Structure 1
């Protein structure tokens, strides 16, 4: 398609040097237009390339592991974007940890907004985080996440209800109801 060359006046379009020069600009403009046209798809977490997803995660302040499943990485970028305004709050920490681990999470702290006539609780820098499990993350990774999300000086008490256990041997079906098989 020669959309730019076609706009040249007839006398200029007949000059091979000028025509080649304008054609080069046309090629550059076409590649820029293609990239601009695809931006909305690259910003969509469901359609973005893995590289763009990694960039979006970095831009939003979340470090994605390339070894994690693609759908998990897409879900994390989507959730971090959705919860951007809630980061650092109890709701934000609960929702992000739930998205990262798939576990039910409860955050208990004394922080909050208190009015003039409200009773302000005693200062306590300990934030208790209760979760059913850590999903595919280690406790160390969860604690690292919490340190980055909670206010400076907050101390974390992590309470994981169910610890993953290592499998002992392989399961074998019992044949005919006899355990000796």
Structure 2
């Protein structure tokens, strides 16, 4: 913002400033400039995942290849976009897959594969396309969603072995949550 209305009109030569048509024409440019300037000044806040509007956050996520669910908590969506942005250069690597899955599920994740860096004099192991992914739990994601994520992040042809340590268990017994309608216990 420049501070006050008429700032551009004030810069016109005195003779031109007295012409009402020219004055209105320049005022239109002034208003356009002020609107564009306000949007430019606010762009840094829209690019900050902690401050971005929900629509802008969804746009940033899609730009990074992450489709956000509007039903997920706002802080989870913000955290996920932030982590994906940080890990962009690590995508497809063991570290990147572990960190992204940890951000998406809140679980401890370990990826085991036969990849590595080998020098010219090092013994290179036989190729093994199996990638083992060990997780404590899948968080709010299903195993199918985790597998879809892994297929998109791991190299083509990798065989994925998903090992989830703690599976969600269906409720057993007579206990019911409060307010479920069965208060005869």
TM-score under structure 1 normalisation?
Answer: 0.92
User: How far apart are residue 171 of structure 1 and its match?
Assistant: 4.8
Task: Tell me how far apart the structure 1 counterparts of residues 117 and 141 of structure 2 sit (CA, whole Å).
Answer: 32
Residue 154 of structure 1 aligns with which residue? 158
Q: 1:82 aligns with which of 81, 86, 90?
A: 86
User: How far apart are residue 112 of structure 1 and its match?
Assistant: 1.6
Where does 1:76-115 land on structure 2 (aligned, <5 Å)? 76-115=80-119
Q: 1:141 aligns with which of 142, 145, 151?
A: 145
Residue 35 of structure 2 aligns with which residue? 31
Task: Tell me how far apart the structure 1 counterparts of residues 177 and 20 of structure 2 sit (CA, whole Å).
Answer: 79
| Structure 2 residue matching 1:120: 3-state secondary structure | coil
Which runs of 5 or more residues in structure 1 are unaligned? 174-180
Residue 167 of structure 1 aligns with which residue? 171
Name the stretch that deviates more: 117-126 or 143-152. 117-126
User: How far apart are residue 172 of structure 1 and its match?
Assistant: 7.8
Q: 2:122 aligns with which of 69, 93, 118?
A: 118
Question: Do structure 1's residue 69 and structure 2's residue 73 form an aligned pair?
Answer: yes
Question: Do structure 1's residue 57 and structure 2's residue 56 form an aligned pair?
Answer: no
| Structure 2 residue matching 1:156: 3-state secondary structure | strand
User: How far apart are residue 27 of structure 1 and its match?
Assistant: 0.9
Which runs of 5 or more residues in structure 2 are unaligned? 179-184
User: How far apart are residue 111 of structure 1 and its match?
Assistant: 1.0
Task: Tell me how far apart the structure 2 counterparts of residues 12 and 166 of structure 1 sit (CA, whole Å).
Answer: 80
TM-score under structure 2 normalisation?
Answer: 0.90
Task: Tell me how far apart the structure 2 counterparts of residues 77 and 10 of structure 1 sit (CA, whole Å).
Answer: 53
User: How far apart are residue 167 of structure 1 and its match?
Assistant: 2.5
| Structure 2 residue matching 1:127: 3-state secondary structure | strand
User: How far apart are residue 122 of structure 1 and its match?
Assistant: 1.0
| Structure 1 residue matching 2:7: 3-state secondary structure | coil
Q: Given the superposition, is the C-alpha separation of residues 172 and 17 from structure 1 closer, same or farther in structure 2, using an over 3 Å criterion?
A: closer
Task: Tell me how far apart the structure 2 counterparts of residues 172 and 163 of structure 1 sit (CA, whole Å).
Answer: 21
Q: Could you report, residue by residue, the CA deviation over 1:18-66 in whole angstroms, capped at 9, with x for unpaired residues?
A: 0001111111111100000000000000000001101111111111111
Q: Given the superposition, is the C-alpha separation of residues 53 and 110 from structure 1 closer, same or farther in structure 2, using an over 3 Å criterion?
A: same
Alignment RMSD:
1.6
